[in-house]
Amino acid sequence: QSVLTQPPSVSGAPGQRATISCTGSGSNLGAGYDVHWYQQLPGTIPRLLIYANTNRPSGVPGRFSGSKSGTSASLAIGGLQPEDEAIYYCQAFDSGLRGWVFGEGTKLTVL
């Protein structure tokens, strides 16, 4: 069980917006540490989607956005496309564990 809690699954219809939450605590997100988001498409290696809460690396579409407030963070995916079906992981540094941690991942299904 991770110190970063994500819902096991979310779903949405094509064109709709989906949101994935990542809930931490005072030793990670609440302590001001950045959250990063990764996308892992089926059978592929993970890909950095959002770093430092809100920043998109070059090449990541603008319909992916991140936010953070207090002990929680969210990844929003607008205009859902079938190719967005993947597992999404949040990651942050935890001062108690003295290392980075991943959430357990959220499987996004595009209906």
Partner 1 sequence: EVQLVESGGGLVQPGGSLRLSCAASGFTFSNYAMSWVRQAPGKGLEWVSGITAAGTYYAGSVKGRFTISRDFSKDTLYLQMSSLRAGDTAMYYCTIQPNHGIALPGWGQGTLVTVSS
Site for partner 1 in 13-52 (CB under 8 A): 34, 36, 38, 40, 45-48, 51-52
Least distance to partner 1, CB of residue 13, Å:
26
**Closer by beta carbon to partner 1, 9 or else 16:** 9
The Cβ of residue 101 has, within 10 Å, a number of other Cβ atoms equal to 17
Least distance to partner 1, CB of residue 36, Å:
5
Using CB under 8 A as the binding rule, whether residue 62 contacts partner 1 is answered as no
Could you write out the DSSP letters of every residue in 69-98? ETTEEEEEE-S--GGG-EEEEEEEEETTTT
Q: Could you give the CA distance from residue 3 to residue 74 in angstroms, rounded to a whole number?
A: 16
Q: Could you give the CA distance from residue 97 to residue 93 in angstroms, rounded to a whole number?
A: 8
**Closer by beta carbon to partner 1, 48 or else 76:** 48
Do 91 and 108 contact (CB within 8 A), yes or no? no
- Provide the binding-site residues for partner 1, judged by CB under 8 A: 34, 36, 38, 40, 45-48, 51-52, 55, 57-59, 87, 89, 91, 97-102, 104-105
